[in-house]
Structure 1
Amino acid sequence: MRHWLPKEAWAWLQAQRGLPPDEQPLFVDVRMEIESLYVGRPPGVVNIPWYEYPDLRPDPQGFARKVLQEAGRLDRPVLLICRSGKRTLDAGAALEAAGFTDVAHVVHGFEGELDEHFHRSSRNGWRFEGLPWEQM
């Protein structure tokens, strides 16, 4: 799995825009749907939660099946993002175990690491870097 800082991930996504849609990377937000909708998310991201409320337990095989359904094939590049870059490590490992051959994740995720006041988006992450995002 490749580990890309937010600006690196965004630049890579933009560089792939000229490819046919089914060859462009699949950008997957692995956060719960409510997080993705109300906290905000990058444009063009597909939400496939690593786990969801109320169980809050991952289903690695189920997750990989859903990503494959969206991706269409195991060799399509997949870029993962979550809140802080931690869930994507497990989700990416599950995809690789399922046979995906080109998996990357956004280091620090959408909101980044906690600061000394337990706030996010103040040290690093997609939103901190000023990259495009949208909110419900």
Structure 2
Amino acid sequence: MSYAGDITVRQAWDLLRDNPDAVLVDVRTEAEWRFVGVPDTSAIDRPTALIEWVDGTGTHNSEFVDQLQVALSARKDAEAPVIFLCRSGQRSIGAATASTAAGYAPSYNVLAGFEGPLDADGHRGGAGWRAEGLPWRQS
């Protein structure tokens, strides 16, 4: 594994709550943020960085590491956790790997992501950030 590991959404919340320099990075697309919603970490006074890993056409964001560097620049503890979240925990693996390669460690992938995997009926939402009842908002 080329990143710190996979964690549950509850473990992600605990890391964010317990570490003032931890950062949540949502790597879904702008359309997903707008139409599905985003994690709301304001109650624990933690930032949520919104940085696309791929755009709406599936094209990799070649500026990802540069945008991540900007998002992490305010951290006082350079070794604080960086926690990556996508829709279901797949794209965020690549983001956590790239983050680790760029020197940002520990970088974690959130299993089940924001919406979780497809269920037997082809629907999402039975697992993940929202299903666990963690704070989120929609624009």
TM-score (ref. length: structure 1):
0.85
Counterpart for residue 91 of structure 2 = 87
Any residues of structure 2 matched to 1:1-136 within 5 Å, and which? 1-16=4-19, 19=20, 24-44=21-41, 45-54=48-57, 56-59=58-61, 62-72=63-73, 75-122=79-126, 124-136=127-139
- C-alpha RMSD of matched pairs (Å): 1.6
Q: Distance in 1 between matches of 2:91 and 2:114?
A: 12
Aligned AA (1:35): E
- Contiguous gaps of at least 5 residues in structure 1: none
Aligned AA (1:105): N
What is the deviation of 1:2? 2.3
Residues 89 and 110 in structure 2, CA contact (< 8 A), matched pair in contact too? yes
Q: Distance in 2 between matches of 1:135 and 1:63?
A: 24
Deviations 1:20-78 (A, max 9, x none): xxxx1121100011101220111142210001134x22145x21111011101764421
Q: Secondary structure at the match of 1:117?
A: coil
Where do 4+ consecutive residues of structure 1 move more than 6 Å?
A: none
Q: Percent identity?
A: 36
- Contiguous gaps of at least 5 residues in structure 2: 42-47
Q: Distance in 1 between matches of 2:80 and 2:17?
A: 16
